[in-house]
Structure formats: C-alpha cells, structure tokens
A and B are shown apart, each in its own frame.
Chain A
Amino acid sequence: MDYEHMSKEELIERLRQLEAPGPSEKTGIRHRLAEAALRDSEERIRAIVNTAVEGIVTIDGKGIIESVNPAAKKMFGYTGGELLGKNISLLMPEPYRSRHDGYLANYLRSGEAKIIGLGREVPGLRKNGEVFPMDLSVGEVRLDGSRLFTGILRDITARKEAETRLAELAASLAGKNKELEAVVYVASHDLRSPLVNIQGFSQELSRACEAVRERIARTDAAEGGEELADLLNEDIPEAIGYILAGVKKMDALLSGFLRFSRLGRAALHIQRLDMNQMLEEIRRTLDFEIKSAGATLEIGDLPPCHGDSTQINQVFTNLLSNAIKYRHKDRPLAIRVHGESADGRSIYHVADNGIGIAEGHRRKIFEIFHRLNPDESEGDGLGLTIAQRVLERHQGRIHVAPAEPHGSNFTVELPNHPTPRREP
C-alpha cells in the first residue's frame, strides 16, 4: 500500500475523499485498491518464479515460448530474452525436436495426455549443443479460451552420473566377487594335489616302517635293536600320525572352500516354491536326527516364495540341523518354524530353545569356517556362510536374534515374486 509514503496533508485529503461519499468516487477508490492488490500478488509470484531453483517455462498452444525464468535460461545456457517467441522444440534434441509440434497438435485435438499433468525424465538440449537429462513436469492453464502450458524442469545430470557410478561400482564389485570365487576354486583344487602326495607317501612310509619292524623282530636282538624298535614303534608312527591329522584337516578346509565357491558359480533356477511342502520334505530328511535328539518340530502355515529349490532347501536344512546340533542338554529341544508375508517379501522364522548365541558372536557365526563349539559338535563351519551367500544371491536376507526365553530365532527373508537378477 502506498499510505506509508504519503505526507500528512495527502493522508488527510485521502481520508476526506473516503468520508465524503460521491458514489462514483467511492467505486474509483475500491477499484484502485483492487488493482494495487493484484499488482502486489503478481509481483510476489514473479519474485517466486524468478528465484525458483527449478526452471519454469511457459508456452502457448503452438509451442511458442511466452516466459522463461532465470533458472531455465541458466540451465539451457541462454541469456536475456533470446528464447521468448521461439518454439520450445529449440530446447530438445532430436528426435523430440521434430516431433514436438506434432505431439502438441495431437494433444490439442484428442485431449490425450502423454506428459501433461504428469512428469518424466527427458533429454534437454543446451545452447552449446550439449544434451543433458532432466526431470520435466508439465501443467496446463486455460485462460479466456487460450491455453498455456507450464513446464517445470530440473537438471538431473549430477544424479544420473552418481547413479551410473553406483551401477559401475556394483558391477565391478560383483565381478571381483566372481573373480575371488574363481581364485578360491582354482587354489583349492590345486592345493589338494600336493595333499594327495603328502598323505599317500606318509602311508608309504608307514608301510615301510612296518616292514622294517617285522624284519627286526625276526633278526633276534641285533645291536641297538631296542633303540630301533622305539623309533619304529613310537617316534615314527607319532610323526606320521600328526602329518596325517594335518592333512585331514587341510583337506576338510579345502573341500569347504570348493563347496562354497561352487555355490556362487551354480546357476539359479528361480521358481515359485511351496514352502509348506519343502519344510515337510526337510522334516522327512532329518527325521532320524530329530528323533535321536528327542526334538519336536512344529511347522506353521508358511507363505510361498521365489527361489532356487535346491539352494533354499539347503538354507532351511542347515538351519534345522544347526538347531539340532546346538540344542541344550538340559531341556528337550523344541523347534518352531513359522512365517508371514510383508511388502512383497516372505519372512520365515526358525526358532529353537537351544543354547542360543551370545550377542558378541552373532555376526561371527556367518563367517566362513567359524564354529561355536568345535570340540562339542560336528560340522564344517560352512552352514550359515552358505545360507547367507544363497540369500545374497536371491536378494534375500538372514539374521539372528535371541528367542524367548532361551535359544535362537533365525529370520530368513525372500522375495515372494520373481525378481530381476542383480548379478551381471
């Protein structure tokens, strides 16, 4: 309002005009006030448009640019008023440039919107010829029978570059993972070869010692015979015993590596899995172990999921065998399997009342060859490592939490629809 700039005299005059009613005069003032209000609101909107970070361009029904805000000019590399009156297709690369007039005419004729009222990612063309990706949303304004289209634009070059870098990084990581698996495979394979010799020839030595022992036994009390007998009966067998035990251990580790690396190389056959059926099969397979442990296995109604039948079966078999292996000796083992669906995922829980896992160990149990009680239980230390790897490949998850009041609760998440493969 203009009151603040008026002098005292002017204000008194204005007041007098307002108080002394002549009908025409009063309307005139109202009109002027309304005009001022409109001007004020126009200025506000202009200020908003001019300072917007997004580019804002308006065109008429023929595609002619009526206004361009500074952000849009800057985005496309133009200055001043050079875009006004030009066809909007100037800001598009081919083939959009040649087709745009057609798109617009088509919309005006049919009313069929492809982009109006919506938004999407389109390429833009800068004055210097550079093409860049942008998010574009278009709105439509109808004024006095004419149409005005408003485009709001955002340059997404940086975001797209970041996405590309991320995709490249993921691809390179997946590649490295595959490479590592190949190295593990070849190394395990080749390392077994010398092991065959160490074991084979240790046994040959054993046989040779046996032969020598028999020979000494026949030639009675040769000089130093007793000392020789000690060597042959104790020292040498002891040495060979340690060698063979070492070989056996190393062989088990190498077999584990081979098994693990083969898993990553095996092709996945993703299909819909009836998990009620699968768990019943596993129950039958583990029947002997379950009965020997005096355990009860309760299986609730399970939602289906999508995955590789063999590998998912292995995950649940490993979880159930672990529950049996790590049961508490003072209470009868009770295993409960149940599940639910949420957000396109099937979630399964395998809960037991066994010895449980101390908080500090919960991450370690997924490490390769990690075993909680190596002396008290059988196992190659691979079950959970394999489970985790299988779920990674299925875009699933596995984690563990304590069960109440005792034991562990393993949660497995799998997609319940076919998902696109992420691995290259």
Chain B
Amino acid sequence: MTDLPAHTILLITEDDPGHARLIEKNLERAGIHNRRFRFPHGQAVLDFLFRRGPGPHREEETAYLLLLDIRMPQVDGIEVLSRLKKDPVLKSIPVIMLTTTEDPGEVARCHELGCNNYIVKPVDYESFAKAIQNLGLFINLVRVPVVSETDET
C-alpha cells in the first residue's frame, strides 16, 4: 500500500498508550511496517532529537517522521513543534499533528508553526483507520529528509 522509504523511522509521541497502540495497529493494517519509536511525552522526543539526557539519541544520516499528539502533560505537542521548527536542521523533519478535537484555532496555530499535516483522531474507528491510511499515502508524498549533524541548542 505504501512505498514509504523503508529506512524512515516513525517517532510516535503520544501520552496515551491506548492511542499509541491503536495508531500502530492501524499503521500495520495500512501496510506501513517502518521502524517505530514510541515516546510517552514531549520532553522525551525533544531529548531524543536534541540528543540530551541519558536515553537513546537521534542518529545521523537517518530519516525521521514525527507523529505528534498535541495535548500532553508538561511539554505539549505545540511546544515540541515550535522548538523543532526553530532549529535549522530539525525543522526539515516532517511533522504530523494528532489531536482529539478539531479546534479551528488549534489547527490554524499548528499550520502557522509549520506542521505538515493535521489529523483529528476520530472516535469513529473506520474513519480513524482511513485517516491513518491517508497518512501512509501522505508519507509517500512528503520528501523525508535525512537529518544530519546539528548544533545542540
């Protein structure tokens, strides 16, 4: 179903483990079998990308794609997005925002900050699966850049 470059790693940042699991199951059903890393909150994915703290860090010459939940405790998705887009190198990572509500103000803000796409997690399972499948198609279209060395900020 998808020709997402096999080496692209999906970074799923989602504080609700159930949502993360549903996203993964649907990615699989949509035929997206890329490697996945899961982060429970915004700070964890920032540490990974900016190579801070003791946990795993981003590697060089690797393509990443970020699925980012908006509403998370402490460092939320909006903040992660704005921090990435301010970084000269990390700003090229495609970001897809995930949210539970279609707040027009929130959508506008995410687009302003430079997210690539915005998906409302519908409660309706069928449309949720469809959204994830569209995501797979969408990932094909986005040029996934290879992130190389960057200054730590």
Indicate if B28 sits at the interface (CB-CB under 8 A).
no
Residues in A whose Cβ lies below 8 Å from that of B128 = 196, 200
B22 to A247, Cβ gap below 8 A? Answer: no
Question: How long is the Cα–Cα vector from A289 to B132 in the complex, in angstroms?
Answer: 34
Indicate if B87 sits at the interface (CB-CB under 8 A).
no
Indicate if B38 sits at the interface (CB-CB under 8 A).
no
CB contact between B19 and one of A190, A196, A251 (< 8 Å): that residue: A196
Looking across the interface, which residue of chain B has its beta carbon closest to that of A200? B22
Question: How long is the Cα–Cα vector from A203 to B25 in the complex, in angstroms?
Answer: 12
Looking across the interface, which residue of chain A has its beta carbon closest to that of B71? A189
Residues in B whose Cβ lies below 8 Å from that of A196 = 16, 18-19, 22, 100, 121, 123, 128
Per the 8 Å Cβ criterion, residues 175-210 of A in contact with B are: 188-190, 192-197, 199-204
Mind listing 22 A-B residue pairs with CB under 8 Å?
A: A189-B100, A190-B71, A192-B100, A193-B19, A193-B100, A196-B16, A196-B18, A196-B19, A196-B123, A196-B128, A197-B16, A197-B18, A199-B124, A199-B125, A200-B18, A200-B19, A200-B125, A200-B128, A202-B125, A204-B22, A258-B103, A262-B103
The interface of chain B, by Cβ under 8 A from chain A, is 16, 18-19, 22, 25, 71, 100-101, 103, 121, 123-125, 128
Residues in B whose Cβ lies below 8 Å from that of A251 = 123
The interface of chain A, by Cβ under 8 A from chain B, is 188-190, 192-197, 199-204, 247-248, 251, 258, 262
Q: Please name 13 further chain A to chain B contacts, defined as beta carbons within 8 Å, in addition to the given A196-B123, A197-B19, A199-B124, sorted by A numbering.
A: A188-B101, A193-B16, A194-B18, A196-B19, A196-B22, A196-B121, A197-B16, A197-B18, A200-B128, A202-B125, A204-B22, A204-B25, A251-B123
Residues in A whose Cβ lies below 8 Å from that of B18 = 194, 196-197, 200-201
Looking across the interface, which residue of chain A has its beta carbon closest to that of B70? A189
Q: How far is the CB of A39 from chain B (nearest CB, A)?
A: 80
B interface: dominant SS: loop
Looking across the interface, which residue of chain B has its beta carbon closest to that of A186? B71
B71 to A195, Cβ gap below 8 A? Answer: no
Most buried by A among B18, B19, B22, B125: B125
Question: How long is the Cα–Cα vector from A173 to B103 in the complex, in angstroms?
Answer: 26
Most buried by B among A189, A190, A196, A247: A196
CB contact between A258 and one of B19, B71, B101 (< 8 Å): that residue: B101
B22 to A195, Cβ gap below 8 A? Answer: no
Looking across the interface, which residue of chain B has its beta carbon closest to that of A189? B101
Q: How far is the CB of B104 from chain A (nearest CB, A)?
A: 8
A201 to B22, Cβ gap below 8 A? Answer: yes
CB contact between B123 and one of A189, A192, A262 (< 8 Å): that residue: A192
Residues in A whose Cβ lies below 8 Å from that of B16 = 193, 196-197
B101 to A203, Cβ gap below 8 A? Answer: no
Q: How far is the CB of B130 from chain A (nearest CB, A)?
A: 13
Residues in A whose Cβ lies below 8 Å from that of B103 = 258, 262
Looking across the interface, which residue of chain B has its beta carbon closest to that of A198? B123
Instruction: Give the top 10 A-B pairs by smallest Cβ distance, nearest first.
Output: A197-B18, A203-B125, A200-B22, A192-B100, A251-B123, A199-B123, A195-B123, A189-B101, A196-B121, A193-B100
Question: How long is the Cα–Cα vector from A197 to B20 in the complex, in angstroms?
Answer: 10
Question: How long is the Cα–Cα vector from A190 to B19 in the complex, in angstroms?
Answer: 13
Residues in B whose Cβ lies below 8 Å from that of A197 = 16, 18-19, 22
Residues in B whose Cβ lies below 8 Å from that of A248 = 123
Q: How far is the CB of A386 from chain B (nearest CB, A)?
A: 16
Residues in B whose Cβ lies below 8 Å from that of A200 = 18-19, 22, 125, 128
Residues in B whose Cβ lies below 8 Å from that of A247 = 123
Question: How long is the Cα–Cα vector from A189 to B22 in the complex, in angstroms?
Answer: 19
Residues in A whose Cβ lies below 8 Å from that of B121 = 196
Residues in B whose Cβ lies below 8 Å from that of A204 = 22, 25
Question: How long is the Cα–Cα vector from A278 to B121 in the complex, in angstroms?
Answer: 35
Residues in A whose Cβ lies below 8 Å from that of B101 = 188-189, 192, 258
Question: How long is the Cα–Cα vector from A192 to B128 in the complex, in angstroms?
Answer: 14
Residues in A whose Cβ lies below 8 Å from that of B19 = 193, 196-197, 200
Residues in B whose Cβ lies below 8 Å from that of A201 = 18, 22
Q: How far is the CB of B126 from chain A (nearest CB, A)?
A: 8
Question: How long is the Cα–Cα vector from A199 to B18 in the complex, in angstroms?
Answer: 11
Q: How far is the CB of A184 from chain B (nearest CB, A)?
A: 12
Residues in A whose Cβ lies below 8 Å from that of B124 = 199
Most buried by A among B19, B71, B103, B123: B123
